[in-house]
């Protein structure tokens, strides 16, 4: 079984793809059958992925050498693209995580989407997404990865806009696609550069060639450029500043989608891509520093927005952006291990929180404002307590998963700083402060939603088991999944790392700081939003720092800037081009036509209709031509084919 799975890893994405085809062409009319097909395929993939994980994590050879097999996709002289499978601990981990989370979320969706008229369609999209995401994970070739990257983007687009009757959903979907498209443009350029300069897009070959980049006529500056261009893709896909704007809007989609695509899987594809191509980035310290700065800034920036948001899913979305910033930071300081670890734990606790939020929305019939909620934990204990688990995990309270991964990131950042990168201290400070903010805004939400007074107008009820079961599984994962990467027994770091394995001694001081920050954040939230039943202090603070509050509440007006740019610059120049086209280019054309018509009008007076006049002219012409040919220069006659 393990052997089979390793050699047939392409089945993992293929099963959901088949499910998509089956649903679209066969079972579309039957909702029940469609979801069954979809879930069965995903569970099949999960089984295979587990077997792969077993296979990979029991064989130490995989740490150094990944299992790669591929077939040609298309090609011609001097340009061949292969598609294939690349299995190593990182991709095995991702396969396992993605199949697990997707399966759980599909099960959850059978409850959440129960009465939706487009139920079957929803599951077909989820299957397609699963297929693309898994294809992305196992891709052995950058172009293959890019293809899947775009396909997950498509699924994201379709699923954000799933409620097609909502204008906001439609606009959000468009925005998501467009924003990621800008990143993809850069990424495409980067890929093109790699193809042109190194003649291959195969990850293994690139990894072998790039360290010797100077032999391929690539300067360090160009390589930095390539790296930055390639990084544009992840900036957009993983919601990094300044292309993060689509991610919060993406919450217009159904909540399982938010959990699956916009928290656990697709948005981490950017992080995964950087992780996959880290061999490129370690060559260019400049790009690495940029990644670290962007990551840290995004983490802080998004957290600063999250503290004032009111809609439950938006808070979670900004939290996702912030946590993705953490992962980027970890990559930027050169630790694949820490980044992937956070990716792994984050997938569980963030999916958990989104699903729980979905459960809340389900119960409250889509009232999303956290200020309208309260005391829900009494009516919805499973949802509530699993959410609390998620909250503890993200805030970084040991022994929950988030603590270990976040601590790891802080440790590697500190090490980065100690290795002579002065900026590292600033990054560390940002990361640490973000940790505090994270604990605060997350528990602000928890206190407002689940504790405190119940609101009379709400009639919450616990969700069905199909929705709570995934919550419980995810809660368990959120609690324990971090334990494989503790500083004392760092199994994780041993398997997933780049370059030499990371062997830091347990940094107890940092751990203590981290816990302290988390507790401080929770404590502040407790004081402001639980103890103070009327939340007077919180409102007073908001009043006192009105400009700051407004800035944060309006997301630093980034959206407005983009909207201005689109409307005033892009659309205006589009209109300008169009007017140029119809008045200038077409004007020339119509002008020429008018000249022709005018000369026709003039010449028509020659058309007298008098037959004999025509004949007169005709014979005159014959006479003249004959005379010219007969008595004119001799070459004139030869042109017309005559000989004198």
Partner 1 sequence: MTFPFLTTTLLAPILAALIIVFIPKENDKLCKSVAAVGTGIALALSLFVYFGYDQSVGGLQWVDFGQPVPWINDLGVTWYMAVDGLSLPMLLLTNLIGFTAVFASWNVVHRVKELMILLLILIAGVMGTFIAQDLFIFLLFYEIVVIPIYIMVVIWGSSKRVTKEYAGMKLTIYLLMGSAFLLAGVIALFVNSVNITGVADMSFEALAQVAFPEQLQIYLFLLLLIGFGSLLSMWPFHSWSPDGYAGAPTAVSMIHAGILKKIGGYGLIRLAIVVLPLGARFWAPYMAVLGVIGVAYAAMAALAQKDLKYVVGYSSVSHMGYVLLGLASLGVIGINGAVAAMFAHGVMAALFFSMIGFIYERTHTRWIPDMGGLSHYTPKLAIGFMMAGLASLGLPGLITFVPEFTIFVETFRVFGWLAVIGIAGIIITALYVLRAAANTLFGPARPEFSHIKDLKGPEMVPLVVLGSVLVIGGILPSLLFDMIDSGVAPLLANINDALQIGGK
Partner 2 sequence: MGTGLNPSYFIGLSAALFAIGMYGALSKKNIISVLISIELMLCAVNINLVAFNKFLTPDAFLGQIFAIFIITVAAAEVGLGLALIIAISRRRETNNLDDLDWLRW
Partner 3 sequence: MENVYELIAFILLGGMVLGSALLVVTLKNLVHSVLSLIVTFIAVAGIFLLLNADFLAAVQVLVYAGGVCIMVVFAVMLVQRTDMEESNPVNWRFGFATLLGGGIFILIGLFAARSQWMLTGTEVPKDTVGTFAPILLTEFVIPFEVAAILLTVALTGALLLVKEVKANGDGS
Give the strand pairing for 79-87 and 67-76.
antiparallel
The residue among 177 and 443 lying less far from partner 1, judged by its C-beta, is 177
Select 544 or 604, whichever has its Cβ closest to partner 2. 604
Binding part of the chain for partner 2, among 47-55, 113-121, 496-504, 611-619 by CB under 8 A, reads: 611-619
Q: Which of residues 296-325 bind partner 2 (CB under 8 A)?
A: none
- Pick between residue 557 and residue 618 the one whose CB is nearest to partner 2: 618
Task: Looking at residues 489 to 548 of the shown chain, list those that interact with partner 2 (rule: CB under 8 A).
Answer: none
Query: Cβ contacts of residue 155 below 8 Å, gap of 6+?
Result: 125, 128, 129, 132, 261, 266
Among 7, 47, 116, 170, binds partner 1 (CB under 8 A): 170
**What track of x and - describes contact with partner 2 for positions 577 through 606 (by CB under 8 A)?**
---------------------------xx-
- Is residue 612 part of the contact set for partner 2 (CB under 8 A)? yes
Residue 192 or 630 having the CB closest to partner 3 = 630
Q: Give bridge partners of residue 85 from the DSSP assignment.
A: 69, 139
Q: Which is nearer to partner 1, 381 or 587 (CB)?
A: 587
Check residue 285 for interaction with partner 1 (CB under 8 A). Answer: no
Mapped onto helix, strand or coil, the DSSP state of residue 67 is strand
Q: Does 25 bind partner 2 (CB under 8 A)?
A: no
CB 323 within 8 A of CB 244: no
**Measured distance CA(341)–CA(406) in Å, rounded:** 9
Closer of 247 and 439 to partner 1 (Cβ): 247
Name the 3-class secondary structure at 235: helix
Counting contacts by CB under 8 A, is residue 88 touching partner 1? Answer: no
Start-end of H helices in 72-141? 89-112, 119-138
Q: DSSP per residue over 511-557, as a string?
A: HHHHHHHHHHHHHHHHIIIIISTT-HHHHHHHHHTHHHHHHHHTGGG
Q: Which of partner 3, partner 2, partner 1, none does 586 bind, CB closer than 5 to 8 A by kind?
A: partner 1
| 215-231 CB burial, b ≥16 within 10 A, e <16 | eeebeeeebbbbbbbbb
Binding segment (CB under 8 A) for partner 2, from list 22-30, 99-107, 574-582, 609-617: 609-617
Query: Which two tokens mark 191?
Result: 């890929």
Residue 79 binding partner 1, by CB under 8 A? yes
DSSP H or E segment with residue 83:
strand 79-87
Q: Which residues bind partner 3 (CB under 8 A)?
A: 612-613, 616, 619-620, 622-623, 626-627, 630
Instruction: Report the distance separating Cα 174 and Cα 185, nearest Å.
Output: 16
List all residues 6 or more positions away from 55 whose beta carbon is below 8 Å from its beta carbon. 2, 3, 5, 6, 92
Strand partners, 463: none
Q: What is the DSSP letter of 328?
A: H
Binding mask 123-152 for partner 1 (x = CB under 8 A): --------------------x--xxxxxx-
Phi, psi (5° rounding) for residue 503? -125, 55
Residue 605 interacting entry, from partner 3, partner 2, partner 1, none, C-beta within 5 to 8 Å by type: partner 2
Q: Say which entry of partner 3, partner 1, partner 2, none residue 630 contacts (CB below 5 to 8 A, set by partner kind).
A: partner 3
Residues that bind partner 2 (CB under 8 A): 604-605, 607-612, 615-616, 619
For partner 1, the binding residues (CB under 8 A) are 72-79, 143, 146-151, 154, 161, 164-167, 169-171, 173-174, 177-178, 181-182, 184-185, 188-189, 192-193, 195-196, 570-571, 573-575, 577-578, 581, 585-586, 588-589, 593
């Amino acid at each position: 079984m393990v052997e089979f799975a390793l050699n047939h890893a392409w089945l993992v994405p293929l099963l959901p793809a088949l499910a998509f085809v089956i649903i679209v062409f066969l079972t579309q009319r039957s909702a029940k059958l469609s979801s069954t097909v979809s879930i069965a395929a995903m569970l099949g993939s999960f089984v295979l992925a587990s077997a792969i994980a077993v296979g990979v994590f029991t064989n130490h050879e995989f740490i150094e050498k990944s299992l790669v097999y591929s077939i040609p996709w298309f090609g011609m002289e001097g340009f061949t693209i292969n598609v294939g499978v690349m299995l190593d601990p990182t991709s095995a981990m991702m396969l396992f995580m993605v199949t697990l989370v997707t399966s759980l979320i599909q099960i959850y969706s059978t409850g959440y989407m129960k009465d939706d008229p487009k139920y079957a369609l929803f599951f077909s999209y989820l299957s397609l997404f699963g297929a693309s995401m898994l294809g992305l994970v196992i891709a052995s070739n950058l172009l293959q990865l890019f293809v899947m990257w775009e396909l997950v983007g498509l699924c994201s687009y379709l699923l954000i806009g799933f409620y097609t009757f909502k204008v906001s959903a439609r606009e959000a979907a468009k925005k998501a696609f467009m924003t990621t498209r800008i990143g993809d443009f850069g990424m495409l350029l980067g890929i093109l550069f790699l193809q042109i300069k190194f003649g291959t897009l195969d990850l293994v070959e690139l990894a072998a060639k790039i360290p010797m980049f100077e032999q391929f006529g690539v300067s360090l500056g160009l390589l930095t450029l390539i790296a930055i261009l390639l990084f544009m893709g992840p900036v957009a896909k993983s919601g990094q500043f300044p292309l993060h704007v689509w991610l919060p809007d993406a919450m217009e989609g159904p909540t399982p989608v938010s959990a699956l695509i916009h928290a656990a899987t697709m948005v981490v594809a950017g992080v995964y891509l950087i992780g996959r191509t880290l061999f490129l980035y370690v060559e260019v310290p400049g790009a690495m520093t940029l990644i670290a700065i962007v990551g840290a800034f995004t983490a802080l920036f998004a957290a600063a927005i999250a503290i004032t948001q009111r809609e439950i899913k938006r808070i979670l979305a900004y939290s996702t952006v912030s946590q993705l910033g953490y992962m980027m930071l970890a990559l930027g300081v050169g630790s694949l291990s820490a980044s992937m670890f956070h990716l792994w734990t984050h997938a569980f606790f963030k999916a958990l929180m989104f699903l729980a939020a979905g459960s809340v929305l389900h119960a409250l019939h889509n009232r999303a404002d956290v200020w309208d909620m309260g005391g829900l934990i009494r009516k919805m204990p499973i949802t509530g307590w699993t959410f609390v688990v998620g909250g503890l995990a993200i805030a970084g309270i040991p022994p929950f998963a988030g603590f270990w991964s976040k601590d790891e990131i802080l440790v590697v950042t500190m090490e980065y700083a100690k290795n002579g990168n002065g900026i590292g201290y600033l990054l560390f400070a940002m990361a640490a402060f973000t940790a505090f903010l994270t604990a605060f805004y997350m528990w602000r939400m928890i206190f407002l939603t689940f504790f405190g007074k119940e609101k009379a107008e709400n009639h919450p009820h616990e969700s069905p088991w199909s929705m709570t079961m995934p919550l419980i599984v995810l809660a368990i994962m959120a609690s324990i999944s971090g334990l494989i990467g503790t500083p004392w027994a760092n199994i994780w770091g041993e398997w997933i790392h780049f370059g030499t394995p990371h062997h830091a001694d347990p940094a107890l001081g940092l751990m203590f700081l981290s816990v302290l920050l988390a507790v401080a954040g929770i404590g502040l939230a407790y004081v402001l939003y639980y103890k103070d039943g009327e939340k007077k202090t919180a409102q007073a603070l908001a009043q006192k720092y009105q400009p700051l509050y407004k800035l944060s509440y309006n997301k630093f007006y980034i959206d407005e800037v983009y909207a201005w740019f689109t409307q005033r610059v892009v659309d205006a120049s589009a209109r300008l081009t169009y007017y140029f086209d119809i008045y200038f280019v077409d004007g020339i054309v119509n002008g020429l036509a008018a000249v022709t018509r005018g000369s026709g009008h003039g010449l028509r007076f020659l058309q007298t209709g008098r037959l004999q006049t025509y004949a007169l002219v005709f014979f005159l012409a014959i006479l003249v031509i004959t005379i010219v040919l007969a008595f004119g220069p001799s070459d004139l006659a030869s042109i017309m084919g005559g000989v004198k």
